[in-house]
């Protein structure tokens, strides 16, 4: 895995953009995180990028929890957490047998599948989805699995939180706590099972911390300008952009 100084100028620009997007994503511009996944995969590939992004996510998670922690729905989190942990364990095992090309296919299918589901919900399908524990179990497991396979839980959890009709601030606060806990849970698997995190990963993340902080405050400002309905469609729009980037790369 290359360190920042070893990258080309184009790759450095992409990595800096990813750091900015991650900061924005953790303070409410949720779709920005979806876009950052295929962007970083352009530079490092699917599996390596999932490990490289994790230290940046851990730093960015702090700002999301700091600002929105009071808005979290712990009713939903207590269902999601145990099944997400199982999904992460399953993903860490499966990842050892998945080739890089398959990683990219899984990433593309997850993004496109989430996009189609989001649009379906916003055009009438949402009323057909019940708020029950089984949906939370499925979302928790898939969120954990896809989080490990390419840091794509953002798309899965966006579908779940939208289907639960969570208002804007509750959406952000619940997602902030979910990802803070799950991302720390993933660290041992990336370090000792996949070997995709090393000292250079953390140095890169810390060197990009000012960009992540800037993104976090931009995200707070941006979200305040949007209504709940506009926010929902913004998430869908950013998911669509991420899908296009995934296809074009």
pLDDT score at 38: 82
User: Do 54 and 179 contact (CB within 8 A), yes or no?
Assistant: no
Q: Write down the pTM of the prediction.
A: 0.85
Average pLDDT rounded to a whole number, residues 76-80: 95
Sign of the torsion angle spanned by Cα atoms 111, 29, 176, 116: negative
Contacts of 182 (CB under 8 A, 6+ apart): 81, 84, 85, 88, 143, 144, 147, 153
More confident residue, 21 or 29: 21
Specify the 3-state DSSP secondary structure of 57: helix
User: Do 91 and 146 contact (CB within 8 A), yes or no?
Assistant: yes
Spatial separation of the C-alpha atoms in residues 53 and 41, rounded to whole Å: 10
Average pLDDT rounded to a whole number, residues 47-70: 89
pLDDT tens by residue, 27-46: 988 778 778 888 888 888 77
Percent of the chain with pLDDT over 70: 93
User: What does residue 166 show for φ and ψ, rounded to 5 degrees?
Assistant: -70, 130
Average pLDDT rounded to a whole number, residues 226-244: 83
**pLDDT confidence bin for 68, thresholds 50/70/90:** very high
pLDDT score at 126: 57
Structure tokens at 182: 């799950």
Burial class of residue 212, CB neighbours in 10 A (0-12, 13-18, 19+): buried
**pLDDT confidence bin for 200, thresholds 50/70/90:** confident
Query: Of 205, 94, 204, which Cα lies nearest the Cα of 150?
Result: 94
pLDDT score at 170: 93
pLDDT score at 242: 76
């Amino acid at each position: 895995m290359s360190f920042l100084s070893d990258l080309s100028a184009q790759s450095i620009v992409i990595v800096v953009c990813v750091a900015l997007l991650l900061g924005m994503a953790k303070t409410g511009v949720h779709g920005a995180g979806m876009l950052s996944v295929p962007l970083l995969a352009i530079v490092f590939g699917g599996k390596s990028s999932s490990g490289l992004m994790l230290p940046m996510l851990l730093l960015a998670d702090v700002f999301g929890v700091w600002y929105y922690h009071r808005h979290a729905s712990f009713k939903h989190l207590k269902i999601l957490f145990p099944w997400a942990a199982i999904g992460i364990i399953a993903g860490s095992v499966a990842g050892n047998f998945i080739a890089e090309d398959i990683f990219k296919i899984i990433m593309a299918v997850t993004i496109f599948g989430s996009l189609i589901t989001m649009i379906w919900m916003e055009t009438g399908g949402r009323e057909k989805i019940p708020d029950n524990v089984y949906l939370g179990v499925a979302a928790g497991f898939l969120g954990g699995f896809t989080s490990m396979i390419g840091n794509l839980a953002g798309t899965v959890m966006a579908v779940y939180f939208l289907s639960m009709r969570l208002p804007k601030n509750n959406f952000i606060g619940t997602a902030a706590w979910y990802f803070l806990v799950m991302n720390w849970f993933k660290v041992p698997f990336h370090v000792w099972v996949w070997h995709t995190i090393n000292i250079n990963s953390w140095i890169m993340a810390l060197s990009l911390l000012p960009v992540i902080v800037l993104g976090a405050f931009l995200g707070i400002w941006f979200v305040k300008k949007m209504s709940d309905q506009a926010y929902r469609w913004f998430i869908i729009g950013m998911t669509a952009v991420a899908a296009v980037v995934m296809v074009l790369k």
